[in-house]
Chain A
Amino acid sequence: MEGLRNDGRRWNELRRIHCQLSTSSTNADGSSYIEQGFTKVLCNVTGPAEPSNRQRVKQDSATVSCEVYFAAFSGTDRIKRGRNDKKVQELQTAIQKTFSSIILTHLFARSEITISIHILSQDGGTLAACINAATLALIDAGIPMTDYVCACTAGQSTSIFDNEGASPDPWLDVNYLEESDIPSLTVATVGDSEKIVALSMENKVRIEALEAMIAVGISGCARVRGIMDKEVRRYGKEKLEAEGE
């Protein structure tokens, strides 16, 4: 099986993405669920609402806050991650920063938009799945955004370069095994444009390979947008049809 990765995908193939809107019937204003391969994430959005903490009030715009909860059973090892866990905080900050710039916060002065994310299963690309889930939940909540935020991962399969310095193809949408083996990055773009709103890489990689990884990531994001957009339209159509009766 030449040219295939350990789960049978080609270098530029995404894992199966399944997403849903309005999954929670609780008091959340918007909710979503996304599966990217075996990474499963649930997201609830509340807001714009009265800020829970007076100190966080901004006079001219809405505050975006993010809470991330790792289920203890989500990874290969059973790990309980508390509120102050470094990884949790890092994710929260990344998501909060990403969406603060995309949500049209100036429309909701002195209010708060809370994104709460539950990670049910991790199989690589956790941050990407969280961002995608949050985008869908915000759309469901009817919160105005400039565009979809779509995230995707890309990895550099090997450090062997040929004589001209050209790198082999990067791998798109890495799974857990690949993520722990090879350097990878997460990239989030505004819709299918090439504007990057979040970029995170935790490993070292040869500088020659970086550009190709980002390029593949961006193309992956555009594809992810198409998949999410399709689901939003399907959901909207279903909702409008029922109302029309």
Chain B
Amino acid sequence: MPIQIIAPAPFLSAEEEEEEFQVEEDEGGVPLDLDNDGDTAMDGVAASKRKQGRQAAGIVTPGEIVTDDPQWMRGHGTYLSSPTADGESQSIVSSLAGTISKTNKLLSIRALRFRYVPEIGDLVVGRILEVQTKRWRVDIAAPHSAALLLSSINLPGGILRKRTSTDELQIRTFFSEGDLLVAEVQTLNSDGQASLHTRSLKYGKLRNGYFMTIDAGMVRRMKSHVLTMNTSNGGGEVDIYLGVNGYIYIAKHTTPLTEGGVESKSVSITRLEEEASEAIYSNVNEDISPETRAEIARIGCVLRALVKANVKIDEEMLNLGYEAALEEFLEGFDWGSDTEAGKRVVDLALAKRRMG
């Protein structure tokens, strides 16, 4: 005997109630756009209407059957239902709330929000957690902390220098606990633990700026994740390190100390360059003018506003957002008192993007 459960007294309008009713009608699987194999089982007006309605929603939730068609392979975010007694084929069930993505015959679910999963070549911003004898453990907001080997950093005194036991003893002079750095994912081991490297003049210790975190999925993958922005109001140039892992560092632009010395280094390693390289690992901030600080804070606020409005961040969006913030005359720091400011900036930025 089925028990009827009365729903809680609705706070919903009549339309929403109807919507709920329709959702319940949609039992058993999400339609896949089976255009490549001519599966036209779902013809007729009613079916196509239903199909459209579901695709507009486009979301699967945990426990929802994605398909029971055996031709599909299951990918990330799905699992196979336990086999039924009557020997029916197993169906692919979603384990996440997100959207379906199809690659040939592989079905996977992309979650709405997810933690960062490292991939080779990703530019990440990280923080040193622990110093070991020959390596550092770095927090990169992934399921496992990453490793940074002493052999995969630029040692002072030129790129081509060999690692010595003196360097091992001085490991804390390069990076110590709590230091921020920008690095690239070099390798991944079998459980997805990343190994980083900073063997490029673009990477290394971060200073002169401001650290913030956002959702990893909100940073769009781009050609370059280090942006240099020419700020107004006498702020000068500001560097933005958009880590793919959702860690972001906004800093005053400094001309890399080793710049210009790159070519000459292969010729001879002079005393001057050695000193310059040691400055890479300096822990002392430069003088940052109040104007630059204000612009750094403004960029931080723009990023936060974009994330709050669920707009993915890329170079274009950031520039537009910054322009919008300037037009709204928003100071870097006092957005907090104006709760609508972020929304206004994002709307303006989106309008600008549509204009082209």
Residues of chain A at the chain B interface (Cβ within 8 Å) = 9-10, 12-18, 22, 25, 27, 29-30, 47-50, 104, 108-111, 139-142, 144-148, 172, 190-191, 215-216, 219-220, 222-223, 226-227, 229-230, 232-233, 235-240, 242-243, 245
B residues less than 8 Å from A14 (CB atoms):
5-8
Q: Contact flags (1/0) for B296-314 with A, using CB distance below 8 Å?
A: 0000000000001111100
Would you call B5 and A236 a contact (CB within 8 A)? Answer: no
Q: What secondary structure prevails in chain A residues at the interface with B?
A: mixed
Which residues from 174 to 225 on chain B have a C-beta closer than 8 Å to any C-beta of chain A? 191, 213
B residues less than 8 Å from A142 (CB atoms):
96-98, 111-115
In the complex, the number of residue pairs spanning A and B with C-beta atoms less than 8 Å apart equals 136
Would you call B350 and A245 a contact (CB within 8 A)? Answer: yes
Q: What secondary structure prevails in chain B residues at the interface with A?
A: loop
Would you call A146 and B79 a contact (CB within 8 A)? Answer: yes
Would you call B59 and A233 a contact (CB within 8 A)? Answer: yes
Would you call B63 and A147 a contact (CB within 8 A)? Answer: yes
Would you call B310 and A243 a contact (CB within 8 A)? Answer: yes
Known: A16-B8, A216-B5, A242-B309. 4 other contacts (CB 8 A): A14-B5, A146-B62, A223-B5, A245-B311
How many of B's residues come within 8 Å of A, CB to CB?
Answer: 43
Would you call A47 and B143 a contact (CB within 8 A)? Answer: yes
A residues less than 8 Å from B20 (CB atoms):
226, 230
Q: Would you call B58 an interface residue if the criterion is a C-beta within 8 Å of the partner chain's C-beta atoms?
A: yes
Q: Would you call B245 an interface residue if the criterion is a C-beta within 8 Å of the partner chain's C-beta atoms?
A: no
Closest B residue to A29 by beta carbon equals B115
Would you call A191 and B63 a contact (CB within 8 A)? Answer: yes
Closest B residue to A49 by beta carbon equals B143
B residues less than 8 Å from A139 (CB atoms):
61-62, 96-97
A residues less than 8 Å from B11 (CB atoms):
16, 18
Would you call B95 and A144 a contact (CB within 8 A)? Answer: yes
Would you call A222 and B5 a contact (CB within 8 A)? Answer: yes
A residues less than 8 Å from B61 (CB atoms):
139, 148, 229, 232-233, 236
Closest B residue to A226 by beta carbon equals B24
Q: Would you call B169 an interface residue if the criterion is a C-beta within 8 Å of the partner chain's C-beta atoms?
A: no
